[in-house]
Structures are given as C-alpha cells and as structure tokens.
Amino acid sequence: MSWQEQYLRIRRGLTRIAVPNKPREEHEDDLFHLFIDCWHLKDWIANDAGSISLEKRKKIVAAVHADEVVMACREIANARKYLKLRRKRRGRALKPKASLIGEITLGEQSVVSYVVTDKKGKTTSTADELAQRAVNRWGEILTKHRLRLPVSYALGVVDFAALRADWTIRPA
C-alpha cells in the first residue's frame, strides 16, 4: 500500500460522511475514521522511502505539524484512540476536541450534530467542515511539495450545508 492509496481513503471517507439518512453509529464511525485516516496519512508519507526522498518526507511532516487543521485531526484521532488526550506533544497545547452535541428526536428519526471545540468549549466549526478542510489541506500540502495527487479524485468540496437540510440519522 502507498501514501496515494491512503490519500484516496481519506477522499472516500469524505464522501461517506456526506451520505445522509444513515444510522447514527455508522455516521459516527465514518466521521472518526476519516479523522484517524487524515492523521495517519502523515505516517504513510513519513515511511514511504520508496517513492519520496527523505528530505521531502521531513518537509511534509514538518508542514503537517505546523498545520492547525491537520493537527486538529490528530487530537480527535488520538482522543478517540486513547479515550482522552493525555499530554502535550511537539510543544503544542492540546486544544481541539470533537464532541457529540444534541440529539433531536423527530418521530422515528433523530438528528445528530458534531462540533469541534477548543479547550474552553467554544465551538470552532462543525466536524464535517473540519473534515472537508482537512482533506483539502492535505491536497494543498502534497501539491506544494510537488507530489502528484492520485488522478481518480480531484480536489472538490462537499456542500455540507445543503446536505444537512436533509440529514436525518436513524436510531439504532
């Protein structure tokens, strides 16, 4: 497997979280897997000695660690993996976290909303918006470092605001 395949995985993950009317647990799984896959793309690149020079890999990893959007993915992925954030890493405070807020029951259906908050609990964006920005940011980082993006997916934007009007998540 290559970093290109991992990049395509995050693109597919973005498409999956945009699908309306699916069970709550399925949406939650897709959302958190996307954040985990976004963070793990860094590891795929860092370890791909066969197609990326060491110098370029180091520059990309440094760019990722300097990027607030991708670092928010790291915090969400690690919080999910370890159940909580335990310590500072790379000299940065652990601020962002994903939290499930609100569930509105409408007859047989419920609507679930995820938001990303800072350490004071202030909402910074929806999780869907962060996911879109993270995937786009990866495309920008890779392109800036002259890595060719896989051709089967062009960078695009999923209009979550338009989709959200139809989003209902069936209870399990």
Greater confidence, 113 or 62? 62
pLDDT of residue 102: 43
Number of domains in the chain: 1
Among candidates 87, 5, 6, 72, which has minimal Cα distance to 35?
Answer: 72
pLDDT of residue 172: 39
Print burial letters for 42-74: b (CB count within 10 Å at least 16), e (below 16): bebbbebeeebeeeebeebeebbeebebbbbbb
Domain membership of residue 170 (yes or no) is no
CB 1 within 8 A of CB 39: no
Domain membership of residue 169 (yes or no) is no
Average pLDDT of the segment spanning 150-169: 49
Q: What is the pLDDT of residues 47-104, one digit of tens each?
A: 999 999 999 999 999 999 999 889 888 888 887 776 554 445 554 544 444 444 444 4
**Can you give the residue range of the structural domain that contains 123?**
3-164
Question: Rounded to two decimals, what is the model's pTM?
Answer: 0.74
Look up residue 146 and give its two tokens: 């002259």
Greater confidence, 42 or 95? 42
Domain membership of residue 8 (yes or no) is yes
Phi-psi region of 107 (alpha: psi -120 to 50; beta: other; left: phi over 0): left
Domain membership of residue 20 (yes or no) is yes
